[in-house]
Amino acid sequence: MILRRLAGAGGLPLLVLALGFALALPWLLYPPVATDILCWALFAVALDLLIGYAGLLSFGHAAFWGSSAYATGLIAIHTGLPFPVAVLGGAVLAAVLALPIGFLAVRRTGIYFAMVTLAFAQLVYFTANQWKDVTGGENGLQAIPRKLPGLDLDDAFTFYYAALPLVLAALFAAWRTVRSPFGRVVTAVRDNPDRTRALGYSADRYRLAAFTGSAFLTGVAGGLYAINHRFASLQEVYWTTSGKAVVMVLLGGIGTLWGAVVGAAALVRLEDWLATAGFEQTQVVTGTVFIAVVLLVRRGLWGTAAALARRAMEKTSTPRAELVDDTSIPRKLRA
């Protein structure tokens, strides 16, 4: 039952297909790129929780992605703890950082919320740039170790499969959140905050909780990304990182979760293919693809595919005629 619910509208076959694809991914692509897809997919899902379900567009999530990357690197370098512990430590720091930012930001909506989050993200960026003794400044944190007792994580395949359970657990947490009573209240706040307040719910508190939870999942993704590359740089906290995640959500389809994964995989794969081919202006191509999707496929790749599949199923399914046992009808009322 839990597997069918987890699969959503696609049912159990879709879930099995997705798990099979995740297990085969490092054999289809260069393993570090496959791990990057996992990280960006989780980042996009975390952002979709905020955009699609809470109705809040954030351009500041790079602050949580990057701060967790730095914190994870520092924990791994100075303590030598297993990488899952370091990643969770970075995610906790991201959630703690999100509390004061969210407390001030959730009082605004729309473009005002986006600008407030962007301003705080830039503050984190300049802090990381100036705090050279901790972050390394422009040089970043280098040679971040990745350790897990009993495994040789220097092998890219081994690290991918070691990181996969952590990503799947985080994705399950995101799925469970949107389908919980908490998630329904968050969606209600998005649709009609005044009515939700009238029912006794604090809109700002639920938005803050959604913002913090999204930051935690983003922190998990950012920490894994730093461990995968063994490096954390200023690029991780720059605002363009937030913009890239927003593009992934829009490409896949807002408010679908699955769409965020599809959008992340498509964009990371496209960038890797362009870089491998020696094409320097990758942003021109990715920008063109994004514009084409927004204009032609407004629901995103996954949202449009799901809608078309739903229509096809509705056309092929014919309503059953209700059979009436006329022996139960009095003889006088029979035709």
pLDDT per residue of the chain (335 residues) written in tens, 0 to 9: 444 454 444 456 777 888 888 899 999 888 999 999 999 999 999 999 999 999 999 999 999 999 999 999 999 999 989 999 999 999 999 999 999 999 999 888 888 999 999 999 999 999 999 998 888 888 889 989 998 988 888 899 999 999 999 999 999 999 999 999 999 999 999 988 889 988 889 999 999 999 999 999 999 999 999 999 999 999 999 988 998 999 999 888 898 888 899 999 999 998 888 888 877 777 787 778 778 877 777 777 887 777 777 777 777 764 544 444 444 434 443 44
Distance separating alpha carbons of residues 68 and 83, to the nearest angstrom: 13
Is the Cα dihedral 18, 272, 38, 44 positive or negative?
negative
Angle at the Cα of 300 (from 298 to 304), degrees rounded to 5?
Answer: 85
Distance separating alpha carbons of residues 335 and 120, to the nearest angstrom: 75
pLDDT digits (tens, 9 = 90+) for 2-22: 444 544 444 567 778 888 888
Residue 142: enclosing H or E segment and its boundaries?
A: strand 141-142
Of 167, 172, 178, nearest to 51 (Cα)?
178
Locate 99 and state its tokens.
């509390």
What mean pLDDT is reported for the chain?
Answer: 86
- CATH architecture for segment(s) 2-315: Orthogonal Bundle (1.10)
Find tokens 């692509």 and name the residue: 29
pLDDT digits (tens, 9 = 90+) for 259-295: 899 999 999 998 888 888 877 777 787 778 778 877 7
Rounded to 5 degrees, φ, ψ at 314 are: -65, -35
Instruction: State how far the alpha carbon of 56 is from the alpha carbons of 48, 82, 115, 154, in Å.
Output: 9, 35, 11, 39
Distance separating alpha carbons of residues 88 and 22, to the nearest angstrom: 22
Find tokens 């006329």 and name the residue: 326
- Residue 137: Cβ-neighbour burial (10 angstroms; 0-12, 13-18, 19+): middle
Contact, 249 vs 263, CB < 8 A? Answer: yes
The residue length of the chain stands at 335
Distance separating alpha carbons of residues 118 and 247, to the nearest angstrom: 16
Locate 333 and state its tokens.
């009322």
Rounded CA Rg of the chain: 23
- The DSSP letter of residue 59 is S
Can you give 165-183 as a three-state secondary structure string?
A: HHHHHHHHHHHHHHCCHHH
Distance separating alpha carbons of residues 47 and 52, to the nearest angstrom: 8
Contact, 210 vs 49, CB < 8 A? Answer: yes
Does the predicted model carry a pTM greater than 0.85? yes
Distance separating alpha carbons of residues 236 and 239, to the nearest angstrom: 9
Domain boundaries of the chain, sorted by first residue:
2-315
Neighbouring-strand partners of residue 142: 231
- The DSSP letter of residue 232 is E
Distance separating alpha carbons of residues 208 and 126, to the nearest angstrom: 24
Distance separating alpha carbons of residues 226 and 135, to the nearest angstrom: 13
Distance separating alpha carbons of residues 50 and 68, to the nearest angstrom: 18
- DSSP, collapsed to helix, strand or coil, labels residue 205 as helix
Q: Residue type for 243, please?
A: G
Contact, 174 vs 257, CB < 8 A? Answer: yes
